[in-house]
Every structure is written in C-alpha cells, then in structure tokens.
Structure 1
Amino acid sequence: MTTTQSLPHWNMDVVYPGLDSPEFAQDFAAAIAEVNSLAQLFDASGIEKRDDLNVDDQLTHTFEQVIDRYNAVLAHITTVYVYISCFVSTNSRDEVAQARASELENALVTLSQLDTRLTAWLGSLDVERLIAHSTVASDHAYILRRAKEQSVHMMAPAEEALAAELNTSAGRAWEKLHSNVTSQLSVTLELDGQRQQVPMSVVRNQASSAQRETRRRAYEAELAAWKETAVPLAAALNSIKGEVNTLARRRHWESALDASLFTNSIDRQTLDAMMRAARASFPDFRRYMHAKAHALGIPQLAWYDIFAPLGTTDRVWTFNEAEQFIVDQFGTFSERLSSFAARAFREGWIDAEPRPGKRDGAYCTPLRADESRVFTNYKPNFDGVTTLAHELGHAYHNFNLGDRTELQRTLPMTLAETASIFCETIINQAALKNATRQERIAILEASIQGACQVVVDITSRFQFEQNVFERRKQRELSVDELNEIMLQAQRDTYGDGLDQQTLHPYMWAVKGHYYSSELSYYNYPYMFGLLFGLGLYARYQQDPETFKKGYDELLSSTGLADAATLAGHFGIDLHSEAFWTASLDIVRRDIDTFCELTRTKS
C-alpha cells in the first residue's frame, strides 16, 4: 500500500532556529549553568540525608526555595533535552545532535544525583508536618510521600551518586548503542521487483502489506538482519539487566519487578489481578486469530500475518484524511479535544515520514508548557490513523498537565496510557458507524489486533523479561538462549493461534523497551493503560456528561496520586479481577462480531 502524498516533518524552529544557531548555543549553556547553580544551592542548603532535621520556619523556607528552583531547572533542561532528542530520533546519523546529546549527559547525571539527594533529604523529614505548614509542600504532597517511601530503598549517598555517574557509561550507553544500531540497520529487501537497501522501519512496515508473499519476504529479511547484529544487542541486553538486578538488590528490593511496581504506582495485587484476567482472555484472542486465518484463506496465521490487513484493502488513508477524521471525531467527545488536535496538526507537532536514520515505532514527548511532539512512521491505512490518534492522546494528556509543575507532571507509565487509549477508542468506535461490512471487518480487525498486541504479546514480553532477569542473576545469556526464551514466551501466549514454526525469536532485539536501565519492565504498563482506558470508556458510555466533567481533571491529576486512588474517583477497584475482566469483555464483544462477520460471505 503506497501513497504519493508527502508526509510532514515536525517543526522545531519555533523553539530554536537550529542546533547550530547562536540562540540554541546560548540556551544550552544557560541550562547547564542552571543545573550547576542548583547543585550549589543543594550544597549550601544541606540537601542530603540527615538525622537532625526539624520542620521549622527556616527549613520550610529552604524547602520552598529548593522546590521552586528545581521545578524551573527541570522545565528548562527538559525542553533542551527533548529538542536535541527530536533530531536524534529522526536521524541518528546527525553527528551534531549526537554530540549535543552527549554533552548534555553530564548535566543529566548531575540532575539525577540531585534527585537522589532530594529524595534522601525528604526521607529525613516529617513530611506530614511539612505538608501541613507549607502550601508548596501541600501542592506536592504525593511526591513528598513517595519520596519518603523511596528513601527506604536507597543506597548510601556516595553509592547513589556513583551509580548515577556510572550510568552514563553503563546502562544509558548500552541503551544508546541499541538505538543507534537498530535505527541505522540497513536491510536488503525486494521492493517493486528490485532488490534494495532499506531502513528497518521500512521493512517492518511491510508487515501490513496486503500481499502475503511481500510480508513473508520482509519477515525473512528482517530475521536475517537481526541475526547479523544480534551479538552486540545481546551484550547490551545482558549488561542492562545485570545492572538493574545489582541495583535492585543493593536498594533492598525483593526483585527488579518490585522496584518497577513502585515506579509505576501500582502494587502486586493489582498486577496479579490484571494478569489473571489477561491469561483468561487468551482463548478469545485465539478465536480471533483463527477467524483471521479463515478470512485470509490460510490454514493458520504465521508471525508475518499478524498485521495483514482485512476488509476493504483498497482504502488508502492519506495523512490529510487522517487529520480531518481525527479532528472531527475528537469533536464528538469535546470541542476542547478537537481544537487541541487541530492545533497539533496546524503547528507542525508531528513527524510522520519513515526515512533512513529514523528510528522505528511511534511516541509522544512533552516539549514545553502544554506543547508536545508526536513521532510516528505513518502507514496510509487505518492502523496508521489509530496510531496517530493514540499519540495525540498522549499529547492531550500533556496539554492537561500544562499548568502543573515539572514534579507534578511526573506520572507513572500505567497512567501515561490513559488518554491515548481513550482517544484511540473514540476513533475506532466512530469509524464503525455507518461502515460497510468490509469496512467493519477492517476496523474491528485493526482494533482487536492492537488489543491482541497489548494483551497477548505484552504478556509474552513480560514473561520473557521475568525469565531473563531471573537467569541473569547467575550469568550472561547467549543469543541462542535469548531466542529460545522469547520463543517459549510466544508459544505459551499465542498458543495455536499462530504457526509455531514461524514465530519471532529476535523480538528481544526489536523492542527498545527492554534497553532501559531506568525503566525496567517496560511492558505491563501498556496492558494496564489499555484496560484502564477501556474501563474509563465504559464509564463514559454509561454517563457521558458526568464523565466529561471529571475527565480533564483526571488527566491533570495523574501526577498527584497513585493509580488506585485516581481509579477510585470513578468507582474502580484495581484489586478486583472483575474490573479487568469487564474491560476485556469490550474486546470479547468485538471478537464475537468479527468472527460472525468473517464467517458470512456478504
């Protein structure tokens, strides 16, 4: 599926004229100077673990001064960092951007060390007394209480400082290696009858081709390319998981997963209830996979058939059509959401064109105040439309956080998917209205396919990561071992829904989410986000007007309370498997409809 329409690149000139501009150089230097000045303030104010602190007027004044300055510095450095990152992610061969990113590392290390010191200092305080005596503290009450809890899981100050400093040449360096290697990976592939060297993002986009032979060739070319580059990626993965295990143990967490659960503001009861409901839904997702295979006229889906289009395959969604549809349908929820989306398109927040040096996938990143940037490799089909809507949902979430301080804007991944899933659901439900049979099949298939990825595939990734973390405690794992762990996870989750001979052993190399030393288990929060978002959409359907009144405030408050507290505002009990099952029931109903539509001939 192709289109000749040019796809937009995002507009970064509104921030600075360019990476080599005097304006950027001046602000870059100013941001680093502000970090160093903040470090001096921490030193002068004794911001570190203490045993002799009393919450009095002087300490309250110190706290307010430090927090105000810290928020300001975080806001400034975030804009500079994201500006550079936008150039790196769209062109990893940009040597100027890579150099600037490297230069910024020392300042980011210093900030990480200051964050650790602040957490330790807050852990030394009677935070409840401070909250009662300071408006600033009251506004940041949730952050203070979390810091008090986190302080229990900290190494000695010198060890924490050393860990932050070493991360530049350890975990973060391995993460950068993975990003650079995979974004620059060139693959030999036959396209339009000619063998060409193309980026991996182009190869992976072939997974949604209507031609099975094209999908198969792309799949085989992809596996061959991952095999050639697997050794350095395995070294990166082993190093990162080893580091995370070491730090989790030294910080007195029972496991890397327990540390992750704290970071994501949920507990083990919530995770277990959600995962039980997910596994109980696997037979339904396998029903969907069998029905899709039947519709495609094949005995069983291969891995390269997962994203095969169904229904109206001749519909090309140009980017302009996607824009208009999203803006219009967001308006069915609220004028505020629709106007926001129109602004994002109008002001050039979106980079949509796949090209050499650009990394694969999609994401949204906050840039400054209420402004974000959306990254996608746009495909001119309905999946491309829903991905765009999903990322704009993240941007809308950032928009609602615009009036919060930087510390208040820090939210767990579990809640980060709230608006994106909700917006994606709006688009899916809108597209189903007045659709023909073939269009309904295509829309339902795209929606269920996405849910299958987030429930079934995410479970496989979670299982893989659990096994790797556990086995990495003993020794490093070879490429073959990583492949086998991944294959077993896929067998356990997809079951007979997929041909067991055509799975994807190198999915551990594909997913950049595994390569973060600071955000381990970058998988189950996506499932949480999907099912929480669906649960919220169900509440919206039950009482639209009441829901609308509280929705934007919910998004604005996601950095001010844990997931269970925020869910409670809508009468949701996250410890109850019944809630997660009810969210999955929405998907089951879609699967029922899909199976019925694909059984009939007209």
Structure 2
Amino acid sequence: MKEAMYRQVWDLDSLFPDDSESTQFHEHLEQLEMIVSELGEKITSFTTPQEITESYIIADLIEDIANIRINLTQATSFITCLLAENPREEKAVTLQGIAASINARFEFDIKRLQKILSHTKPCLYEDLVETNDLKQYQFILNEWRKKATMLLSDEEEYLASNLMVDGYHAWGQMYNSLISSIRVNVQIEGKTETLSFGQAINLRSHPDEEVRKASHITLENVWKEKEDLFAKILNHIAGFRLQIYKHRKISSVLEEPLMENRMKQDTLNAMWTVVSKYKLPFVNYLNQKAKMCGDEKMQWHNFWAQITKSNQKITYEDAVDFILEHFSQFGTELENFARQAFDNGWIEAENRSNKSNVAFCAGFPLTGESRVFMTYGNRITNVLTLVHELGHAFHNYAMKTVNGVNKQYPISVAETASTFSEMIILDAAMEKSESTTEKLFLLDEKLKRSVMNFMNIHSRFLFELKFYEERKEGVVSASRLNELMQEALNAGYDGAMDNASIHSWIWTPHYYITKSPFYNFPYTFGYLFSLCIYAKAKEKGRAFEKDYLDLLRDSGSMSTEDLVMNHLGEDITSEAFWEKGMELCVKDVEEFIKLTSAQEDTRVRTL
C-alpha cells in the first residue's frame, strides 16, 4: 500500500486556534464590530460631494469598506468551515448569528453610502471617477450608482437588513442544518450501512447498479417524507426575496442575478439559445448510454454510472500526484499553488459521516489562503470535484494583489476558473489513456459534465423561473413543486431521462442560497467560457498562464462582456461565441458514439 503523503483533514488552527472556542477569533469579531461602527459614523457625517477635491474622502471610505470586507470574509469563511466539519456545532451556529448581524449593519452602511453618492451632480460625478484617487474604483462606483436607484429609504433598508438575519438568511441556514442531519440506510454488498446524504449521493457512481438504484430510491423516499418541510423553507426564501423586489420596484426576478453576475440579458439569451439548439446530440449520447446499460431510456440512477465494468479506484495519494503533475504542465504558478494547498493542510477530504454534504471553497483573504471542503470517495468524480474547488482557490490566489473592493468577482467567472481546472485534469487523463475502454470511460465523464451544464442546469433555470412566477401568486405546495420539477427536467433533458428525481428541488442546495438567486446559469456560462479559454491555453502552452492570471485579476473590475472582449477579443452577446464551445462538446458526443458503436460491431462479429 502506498504511504500516505497528503493529509485529508484540513488545518484550521493556523487561522484561529481552538475552533469555536478560539479567543483569537472572538477578538477578531469584536474588532470587526468596532470598525463597522466606525464606518457607520463616518458615513453618517458624510454628505453628497460638492467639490472634486472630496475624492480623497470617498477613496478613504472605499478603503475602509475593503478592509472590513476582507476581515468579514475571514470570519464568515472560518464559521462556514466549522459548520461543514460539524453542522450541529452549537457554538459555531451562535458565531454565525453574530457574524450575520455584523454583516447586516455593514451592508446597510454601504447602501447608505451608495445613496449619498448617487445624488452627486452628473458632471461632478464624471470628474470625480476620473481622479487619481478614484480611477481604480471607477467600475465599482458606476455599479454602486446603478444599484442606488433600486434602494428603499434608509429606514426601510435598515429594517430589511435586520429582518434578513433572523428571517431570510436563517431559512437558508436551517436548510443546511436539516440536509446535513439526514441519515439513510443503504444495502452495500449485503451489508446495511448508515450514510449521510453526502455519502449516499456519492453512490450514484458505484459500480453496482443495485447499490445505485437502492441509494436513489432510499433518498427519494426520504425527500417524499420531508417534502412539506422543505417546501415551506423554499417558499419562505422566495417570498422574502419577492417582497424586497416589490418594494424596490424590481419587475424581473432575473434583474438581481444578472446584475450580480455583471452580465447582460442579451448574453444570457444568446447562451441559452445555443444550448437549446444543440440538445439533440446529447439526447443521442444519453440514448446510447442507456442502450449500453440494457435500457431503452436513460435511467436517472444510471447517469453517473461507469460505462465499463471496471472497479477502478483512485486513491487520494494518486489523485494528488496526478493533479500536481498536470497542473505543472499548464503553468508554474498553478502547480506551486496546488502543492502549497496540499502541503499546508488546506484540503478537507476525509470520508466520514458527520460532515456536511456540500463541497465548497472558502477564501481567507486576510491571510491569503483558501480552504477546500469535500468528501473523497476514490472515484474520478471525486478527483474532478477536488480540482473544481482548487480552481476556485486559485482564483482567490490570483486576486491577492488586487486592490480593495476590486477583489469581488461574479459567480459566472468564478465557475469559469473551477471548470477550467477540471478540463486540465480530464484532458490529461484522456491523453494518458492506453486503451479504448479507458478512453471511453474518461470521455463519458467529460460528457456527463456537458449534460449537467446543458440539460440539468438548464432544467434548474427553467424550474426556478416558473417557481418564482407562481410564488408571486402565493405559496407553492410540495406537490406542485414536484410537478414543476418534472416539467423542467423533461424540457431540460428534452425527454431523454427516465425516472428523474422530481425532488431534486429539495436536495439541490443552490435553490436555498440566500445571497445568490439563480445560482444555476453561471455554471453553464463558466463551462462554455472555460472551453474557449482552454482552447487558447492549448495553442499558447505554458505562456498562457500569465494571460489567464491577468484575466482572473480583472474579473472584479469590469463587466463580464468587457472582460471577455478585453482579454479574448470575443463578443459574448453573440450566439457565434457560444457555438464555438458547443461544437467542441458535440465532437465529444460523436467520438463517444463512434467508439461505442465500434465495440458493438466487434461483439456482434464475435458472436
């Protein structure tokens, strides 16, 4: 057996020793409360600018905001990590409440500043953002000016901010606690095992179909039993959000997510148009895979199944070595960063039942670190989850030298960096494959990601659109949510999926993220965008790493359309851009069908 070289349990003590009991962390929160109060006092005494010489005052306030955000992110990331380790940690839950309260006051003060600045006379405003003090924050200030037009009165915003802590965000936290507490009994190799939801969902790629099917049915029964409870949580989250939209006179539920992703509606429309246009090749892939499984139609529980009978397992040690080897072929900085993450205990990958089921990357900008959380199960899907989260962490690393509030980047670009890392590893594995069987195995894994982004994510988007439409008229029952989910899955998969999980509105955590509505289309954006970036990386070789880092560093200071145009010279409001990436994915389907058909012909001739 290979000696364990890489730890699978992360190090949080180097951030704040003694976990939730940490004196250092409690002092950090106290310091945060103090500097947030000081910011509030400064904004209270600040008035609408009248002279261009006031630019330095605005710059000082922005620097204060940047400093608070860095310290606040350090705190909230730490609490997130504590709760992921043990979702029932009561002291961590208490700390989460304190941090949420501080954040509410902070966000309220930012909105107050935005409103004050929005009253600046247009001519003076244009001169102010061109000053040396503010030029680097020009994009953010313009964004703030636009957001200020949707804000309520100070009193209403203050009330909304406070209600969010114990209402809106609390529902999201309750969801995470409930989903993490779920335990199911699954028969594996003749033995009943008690598993967390995260462990049970990992069985979807188990080599034994009976285990996959048993896990799927068991989970569906759990969701059926608890659907009314989860329906209440989802309705409360959506109801609160819609009330805020109503008071802010926001007519479309897509307005906020598009603004948060710094993306135009034209871009989103062009992307989904291309996705819808190219559904047939992926239907063909699903039909071919179903046929290989002995079914007429793709069964939900078989989607993640390996198409070979191989029981191949990838140990954590081998996975890390493979990642480091192939990250090094892309660039020195990516390799060195990943090695630092593995060597310094930034990864929590141990397979145990008391953990949260959601993989994530948490940034710690104060110390220039990240932490990656997942449950590793010795399968290629786990390797890809690991590199996906490392991609997020590398994006955080790229932003280390960026000034102030320009560190914040949209979800769509964050999902680009994570997917790009996946592609490096998948492509490397395919190039190393020594047989048709091995190549098919990896090609299938690649195509699963295409299906997830073009079909599953599309179904999530369609479901959320329809759900919010109906939620405006009143509470949507659990049975109706099941119907909406079924309709969305049928549309998303173009009818190619059988026995789909109509309860996926329960176990898909993205619907319950209160900070980011419509946390779905950014994945498809990131997937297709990363294909374009990866193609350029293949052309330029290791020299591309600098261009890639420059793109990531600019991701917090310009619109998504400008980012792509400035760094890649591409217009993402055009369908032609999205078709370039889509055509690469269609070629994967054609190769898959060609190889599997050849195998069938060989079997027929042998018989």
Query: If the length of structure 1 is used for normalisation, what is the TM-score?
Result: 0.95
**Which of 495, 499, 503 in structure 1 is aligned with 2:500?**
503
**Which of 581, 584, 596 in structure 2 is aligned with 1:583?**
581
- Whether the 8 Å CA contact 1:153–1:251 is kept in 2: the answer is yes
Partner of 2:460: 461
Partner of 2:487: 488
Give the Cα separation in 1 of the matches to 2:218 and 2:516.
30
Partner of 2:63: 68
Q: Is structure 2 residue 51 aligned with structure 1 residue 55?
A: yes
Partner of 1:473: 472
Give the Cα separation in 2 of the matches to 1:26 and 1:574.
46
- Whether the 8 Å CA contact 1:327–1:338 is kept in 2: the answer is yes
1:148-176, Cα deviation, whole Å (9 max, x unpaired): 11111111222112111110122101101
**SS of residue matched to 1:198:** strand
Q: List aligned pairs for 1:84-483, cutoff 5 A.
A: 84-125=79-120, 126-135=124-133, 137-311=134-308, 313-368=310-365, 369-435=367-433, 436-483=435-482
Deviation at 1:302, TM superposition (A): 0.9
Deviation at 1:191, TM superposition (A): 2.9
1:257-285, Cα deviation, whole Å (9 max, x unpaired): 12211111111111110001111121111
Deviation at 1:118, TM superposition (A): 2.2
Deviation at 1:312, TM superposition (A): 6.5
After superposition, the Cα gap between the structure-2 partners of 1:322 and 1:312, relative to the gap in structure 1 and judged at 3 Å, is: farther
Give the Cα separation in 2 of the matches to 1:127 and 1:133.
10
**SS of residue matched to 2:186:** strand
Give the Cα separation in 2 of the matches to 1:365 and 1:403.
18
Aligned-partner residue type, residue 108 of structure 1: N
Q: Is structure 2 residue 24 aligned with structure 1 residue 29?
A: no
- Whether the 8 Å CA contact 1:219–1:304 is kept in 2: the answer is yes
Deviation at 1:41, TM superposition (A): 2.2
Partner of 1:550: 547
1:46-97, Cα deviation, whole Å (9 max, x unpaired): 4xxx5xx31332x223212211222111111211111111011221011121
Aligned-partner residue type, residue 581 of structure 1: E
**SS of residue matched to 2:370:** strand
**SS of residue matched to 2:185:** strand
**SS of residue matched to 2:355:** coil
- Whether the 8 Å CA contact 2:531–2:581 is kept in 1: the answer is yes
Aligned-partner residue type, residue 461 of structure 2: F
1:116-142, Cα deviation, whole Å (9 max, x unpaired): 11221232234322122233x111111
Give the Cα separation in 1 of the matches to 2:40 and 2:474.
38
Aligned-partner residue type, residue 34 of structure 2: A
Give the Cα separation in 2 of the matches to 1:330 and 1:161.
47
Give the Cα separation in 1 of the matches to 2:272 and 2:7.
39
Question: Is the deviation greater in 22-31 or in 550-559?
Answer: 22-31
1:359-416, Cα deviation, whole Å (9 max, x unpaired): 2232112112431111112221111111111111111111000112341111111111
After superposition, the Cα gap between the structure-2 partners of 1:558 and 1:30, relative to the gap in structure 1 and judged at 3 Å, is: same
Give the Cα separation in 2 of the matches to 1:24 and 1:259.
33
Deviation at 1:449, TM superposition (A): 0.3
After superposition, the Cα gap between the structure-2 partners of 1:4 and 1:295, relative to the gap in structure 1 and judged at 3 Å, is: farther
- Whether the 8 Å CA contact 2:207–2:311 is kept in 1: the answer is no
After superposition, the Cα gap between the structure-2 partners of 1:258 and 1:383, relative to the gap in structure 1 and judged at 3 Å, is: same
Aligned-partner residue type, residue 437 of structure 2: Q
- Whether the 8 Å CA contact 1:81–1:101 is kept in 2: the answer is yes
- Whether the 8 Å CA contact 1:340–1:396 is kept in 2: the answer is yes
Deviation at 1:106, TM superposition (A): 1.4
Query: If the length of structure 2 is used for normalisation, what is the TM-score?
Result: 0.94
Deviation at 1:559, TM superposition (A): 0.2
Give the Cα separation in 2 of the matches to 1:331 and 1:385.
17
Deviation at 1:98, TM superposition (A): 1.1
- Whether the 8 Å CA contact 1:215–1:305 is kept in 2: the answer is yes
Give the Cα separation in 2 of the matches to 1:7 and 1:192.
29
**SS of residue matched to 1:45:** coil
**SS of residue matched to 2:298:** coil
Q: List aligned pairs for 1:531-546, cutoff 5 A.
A: 531-544=528-541
Aligned-partner residue type, residue 51 of structure 2: V
Give the Cα separation in 1 of the matches to 2:542 and 2:194.
53
Q: Is structure 2 residue 511 aligned with structure 1 residue 514?
A: yes
- Whether the 8 Å CA contact 1:370–1:401 is kept in 2: the answer is no
The gaps in structure 2 that reach 5 residues or longer are 603-607
After superposition, the Cα gap between the structure-2 partners of 1:128 and 1:355, relative to the gap in structure 1 and judged at 3 Å, is: farther
**SS of residue matched to 1:153:** coil
Deviation at 1:562, TM superposition (A): 0.5
Aligned-partner residue type, residue 582 of structure 2: L
**Which of 557, 564, 567 in structure 2 is aligned with 1:567?**
564
Aligned-partner residue type, residue 14 of structure 1: S
- Whether the 8 Å CA contact 1:184–1:356 is kept in 2: the answer is no
Question: Is the deviation greater in 527-536 or in 287-296?
Answer: 287-296
1:283-339, Cα deviation, whole Å (9 max, x unpaired): 111111112122323332211111111237232111111111111101111111111
- Whether the 8 Å CA contact 2:10–2:345 is kept in 1: the answer is yes
- Whether the 8 Å CA contact 1:91–1:356 is kept in 2: the answer is no
Deviation at 1:441, TM superposition (A): 1.0
Give the Cα separation in 1 of the matches to 2:543 and 2:116.
42
Q: Is structure 2 residue 80 aligned with structure 1 residue 80?
A: no
1:5-50, Cα deviation, whole Å (9 max, x unpaired): 997121111111122132222222222222222222222334xxx5
Partner of 1:594: 592
- Whether the 8 Å CA contact 2:81–2:362 is kept in 1: the answer is no
- Whether the 8 Å CA contact 1:364–1:392 is kept in 2: the answer is yes
Aligned-partner residue type, residue 462 of structure 1: F
Partner of 2:13: 13
Give the Cα separation in 2 of the matches to 1:76 and 1:543.
38
Aligned-partner residue type, residue 111 of structure 2: T
Deviation at 1:218, TM superposition (A): 0.3
- Whether the 8 Å CA contact 1:264–1:414 is kept in 2: the answer is yes
Aligned-partner residue type, residue 46 of structure 2: S
Give the Cα separation in 2 of the matches to 1:414 and 1:468.
22
Identity %: 27
After superposition, the Cα gap between the structure-2 partners of 1:127 and 1:438, relative to the gap in structure 1 and judged at 3 Å, is: farther
Give the Cα separation in 1 of the matches to 2:352 and 2:105.
35
Give the Cα separation in 1 of the matches to 2:376 and 2:455.
24
- Whether the 8 Å CA contact 2:327–2:334 is kept in 1: the answer is yes
Query: How many corresponding residue pairs?
Result: 591
Deviation at 1:112, TM superposition (A): 1.5
CA RMSD of aligned residues (A): 1.9
1:178-219, Cα deviation, whole Å (9 max, x unpaired): 111001111222234233432111111111111111111000
Give the Cα separation in 2 of the matches to 1:431 and 1:236.
42
Partner of 1:45: 46
